[in-house]
Amino acid sequence: MKNVLSWILVLFLVVSVLNNCLSSKVQKEVNQRNAFIDNLRKLYSSGDSSKWPKPILDPESAPSFVEIGHLPNVDFPDDNQYSAEKEFLGKTLFFDPRLSKSNQIACASCHDPELGWSDNRTFSFGHDRQLGTRNAMSILNVAYAKSLFWDGRAKSLEEQSQMPIQDEREMSEHIDIVAGKIAKIKGYEILFEKAFGDKTVTKDRISKAIATFERMIKSSSSKFDQFIDGKSDAYTNDELMGLHLFRTKAQCINCHNSGYFSNNQFENVGTSLLGEKGEDLGRYLVTKNQEDAGRFKVPSLREVTRTFPYFHNGSMKTLTEVIQFYSLGNPEFSQKRSTVHEGITLNSQKSGMVRMLELSNEEISQLEAFLRTLSTKSEKIDLPELPK
């Protein structure tokens, strides 16, 4: 009996010693992790991005790499400098459906300020309720885009603004007819005079005014901006870890970089569906370079919670889906990845920067938590009164 009792005692002692060792090991790990997070928080919110941990970059991203950070000031082109009068005229035109053939569709129909300056639809409805083939892009922060549209076919906002007016599926009106229509509206005379010195309406002036208005549609300071500026308690641990993953293990920063969160390049992430229903040749349509087949403009991630659905074809509804897609390195095995266009065989060559990331579910949700900090609340905007 005595023997049994002492054995139990010994066993008890051994177990409790082991248990102690284990829990102090766990405790040590917890402490280490907390110290790691505290240190990251200190570095990232130091107000000086040169103190941040080094990003993990692929060599091919280097030529266009700019560290993430605040949006810089907007540059206005020499031949279209800013004035408040021009901005006001541009805003009025942007909301005026008389720029369309049916007098029903304004730029704002598809770029609605309450819907993140987009329309939150997979594809937009335009003239005669025709469906387009691409997802409407938000025009928030568009001043920072070096070229416009998913394929970059417009080089400036001035050039871009005439395109939807003339696009048969969008506003379907000839730009000269639009200029004539606007010139006949008495109330516009004073607006053109204030903006350009006299009341003459030209398509060039219409474009310049709309472009000026668009350059002013910018994000206000986001949680991310406040955090990196020194408000160290602005971020939760998950948001902080998400920022770190974005720049390191997940390597999103290879393409989504600078204050605009886009390197303004065209990349193939394997979304072009070549040879399948819904195929889109992307950048190839503009350059006719075979390696551009399936490349699209890298979109900004600022305001990303407001600009769903995602990708050029609006094929993904949630950020979780998008991050899971990247985590798997977008396996396109089931796709043809090849098509014949105008007698030329085109193959989709996915960027080497899109590869299996093996993110855990926790890491996926941390990345998402970080992306959400790039959005701001939608501002109430006063709609202009349409001139009579």
DSSP code of residue 306: G
Q: Distance between CA atoms of 137 and 225, rounded to whole angstroms?
A: 23
Amino acid type, 312: H
Identify which range of 22-30, 78-86, 195-203, 307-315 contacts ligand HEC by CB under 6 A.
Answer: 307-315
Among 45, 271, 339, 348, binds ligand HEC (CB under 6 A): 271
CB of 379 to ligand HEC, least distance (A): 19
> Binding pattern to ligand HEC, positions 190-219, x when CB under 6 A?
--------------------x---x-----
Identify which range of 7-15, 80-88, 284-292, 322-330 contacts ligand HEC by CB under 6 A.
Answer: 322-330
Beta strands in 210-347 (DSSP E): 266-267, 296-297, 338-341, 344-347
Q: Which of residues 234 and 374 has its CB atom nearest to ligand HEC in the complex?
A: 374
Residues forming beta bridges with residue 125, ordered by sequence position = 131
Q: Distance between CA atoms of 173 and 163, rounded to whole angstroms?
A: 10
> Residue 122 interacts with ligand HEC (CB under 6 A)?
no
> Residue 384 interacts with ligand HEC (CB under 6 A)?
no
> Residue 260 interacts with ligand HEC (CB under 6 A)?
no
Q: Give the rounded distance of the alpha carbon of 97 from its chain centre.
A: 27
Contacts of 135 (CB under 8 A, 6+ apart): 118, 121, 122, 123, 124, 150, 309, 310, 311, 312, 313, 314
> Residue 137 interacts with ligand HEC (CB under 6 A)?
yes
Identify which range of 10-18, 227-235, 320-328, 332-340 contacts ligand HEC by CB under 6 A.
Answer: 320-328
Q: Which of residues 29 and 75 has its CB atom nearest to ligand HEC in the complex?
A: 75
Give the relative orientation of helices 237-247 and 361-372 as an angle to the nearest 10 degrees: 100
Among 96, 170, 239, 363, binds ligand HEC (CB under 6 A): 170
Amino acid type, 369: A
Contacts of 34 (CB under 8 A, 6+ apart): none
For residues 95, 100, 103, 109, the Cα torsion angle rounded to the nearest 10 degrees is -40
CB of 345 to ligand HEC, least distance (A): 21
Q: Distance between CA atoms of 225 and 261, rounded to whole angstroms?
A: 12
Identify which range of 1-9, 19-27, 72-80, 139-147 contacts ligand HEC by CB under 6 A.
Answer: 139-147
Among 40, 71, 143, 171, binds ligand HEC (CB under 6 A): 171
Q: How is residue 310 written in tokens? A: 């995602």
CB-CB contact of 96 with 104 (8 Å): no
How many residues make contact with ligand HEC (CB under 6 A)?
A: 53
> Residue 111 interacts with ligand HEC (CB under 6 A)?
yes
> Residue 149 interacts with ligand HEC (CB under 6 A)?
yes
For residues 147, 153, 157, 162, the Cα torsion angle rounded to the nearest 10 degrees is -170
Among 179, 191, 367, 369, binds ligand HEC (CB under 6 A): 367
CB-CB contact of 357 with 326 (8 Å): yes
Identify which range of 37-45, 187-195, 318-326, 379-387 contacts ligand HEC by CB under 6 A.
Answer: 318-326
Binding residues among 90-109 for ligand HEC as defined by CB under 6 A:
99, 105, 107, 109
Binding residues for ligand HEC (CB under 6 A): 99, 105, 107, 109-111, 124, 126, 132, 134, 136-137, 139, 142, 145, 148-150, 157, 160-161, 164-165, 170-171, 210, 214, 250-252, 254-256, 267, 269, 271, 296, 298-299, 301, 304, 307, 310-312, 319, 322-323, 326, 351, 353-354, 367
